[in-house]
Amino acid sequence: MEKKEYQLGDIVLMKKPHPCGTNEMEIIRLGMDIRIKCVGCKHSVLVPRAKFESKLKKVLRSAASPAPMEGEGAQ
Ligand SMILES: [Zn+2]
Protein backbone atom coordinates (compact mmCIF):
# COMPACT_ATOMS: atom_id res chain seq x y z
CA MET A 1 0.00 0.00 0.00
CA GLU A 2 1.17 3.40 -0.84
CA LYS A 3 0.94 6.26 1.55
CA LYS A 4 1.23 9.75 0.22
CA GLU A 5 3.64 11.68 2.29
CA TYR A 6 4.03 15.36 1.87
CA GLN A 7 5.15 18.25 3.93
CA LEU A 8 5.53 21.95 3.88
CA GLY A 9 7.50 23.22 0.92
CA ASP A 10 7.04 20.10 -1.15
CA ILE A 11 6.38 20.35 -4.84
CA VAL A 12 3.51 18.08 -5.78
CA LEU A 13 2.05 16.95 -9.06
CA MET A 14 -1.72 17.25 -9.32
CA LYS A 15 -3.99 15.07 -11.43
CA LYS A 16 -5.66 18.03 -13.06
CA PRO A 17 -3.56 20.89 -14.35
CA HIS A 18 -4.20 24.43 -13.23
CA PRO A 19 -5.92 26.67 -15.80
CA CYS A 20 -2.51 28.20 -16.53
CA GLY A 21 -1.30 24.83 -17.77
CA THR A 22 0.94 23.89 -14.88
CA ASN A 23 0.08 20.99 -12.64
CA GLU A 24 2.91 21.43 -10.20
CA MET A 25 1.98 22.96 -6.89
CA GLU A 26 4.00 23.95 -3.88
CA ILE A 27 2.62 23.28 -0.43
CA ILE A 28 2.82 26.54 1.44
CA ARG A 29 0.60 25.76 4.38
CA LEU A 30 -0.34 22.56 6.12
CA GLY A 31 -3.25 22.09 8.48
CA MET A 32 -6.80 20.87 8.35
CA ASP A 33 -6.80 22.68 5.09
CA ILE A 34 -3.85 22.80 2.78
CA ARG A 35 -2.74 25.84 0.88
CA ILE A 36 -0.99 25.15 -2.35
CA LYS A 37 0.60 27.59 -4.72
CA CYS A 38 0.76 27.08 -8.44
CA VAL A 39 4.36 26.95 -9.59
CA GLY A 40 3.39 28.44 -12.91
CA CYS A 41 1.27 31.48 -12.10
CA LYS A 42 1.89 31.75 -8.33
CA HIS A 43 -1.82 31.62 -7.66
CA SER A 44 -2.57 29.98 -4.32
CA VAL A 45 -5.63 28.03 -3.29
CA LEU A 46 -6.85 26.59 -0.02
CA VAL A 47 -8.25 23.07 -0.25
CA PRO A 48 -9.47 20.60 2.37
CA ARG A 49 -6.93 17.87 3.08
CA ALA A 50 -9.18 15.10 1.77
CA LYS A 51 -9.74 16.96 -1.45
CA PHE A 52 -6.07 17.69 -1.80
CA GLU A 53 -5.17 14.03 -1.37
CA SER A 54 -7.73 12.98 -3.95
CA LYS A 55 -6.25 15.42 -6.42
CA LEU A 56 -2.65 14.67 -5.59
CA LYS A 57 -0.94 12.53 -8.16
CA LYS A 58 2.47 12.35 -6.59
CA VAL A 59 5.07 14.22 -4.63
CA LEU A 60 7.75 15.41 -7.01
CA ARG A 61 10.32 16.50 -4.50
CA SER A 62 10.50 16.99 -0.82
CA ALA A 63 11.77 20.16 0.76
CA ALA A 64 13.24 18.38 3.76
CA SER A 65 15.14 15.51 2.20
CA PRO A 66 17.53 16.09 -0.66
CA ALA A 67 16.66 14.53 -3.97
CA PRO A 68 17.92 10.96 -4.12
CA MET A 69 20.65 10.42 -6.61
CA GLU A 70 19.81 7.36 -8.58
CA GLY A 71 22.50 6.94 -11.14
CA GLU A 72 22.36 10.03 -13.29
CA GLY A 73 24.10 13.03 -11.86
CA ALA A 74 25.86 11.06 -9.16
CA GLN A 75 29.60 11.14 -9.31
ZN1 LIG B 1 -1.46 28.32 -12.33
**d(CA 44, ligand 1 centre) in Å:** 8
Burial of 38 (0-12, 13-18, 19+ CB in 10 A): buried
How far apart (Å, rounded) are the C-alpha atoms in residues 19 and 21?
A: 5
What pLDDT, in 10s, does the model give residues 16-50?
Answer: 999 999 999 999 999 999 999 999 999 999 999 99
Tell me the pTM.
0.78
Give residue limits of the domains in the chain. Answer: 11-61
**d(CA 19, ligand 1 centre) in Å:** 6
Neighbours of ion ligand 1 (CB under 5 A): 18, 20, 38, 40-41
**d(CA 40, ligand 1 centre) in Å:** 5
Is the pLDDT assigned to residue 1 strictly greater than 50? Answer: no
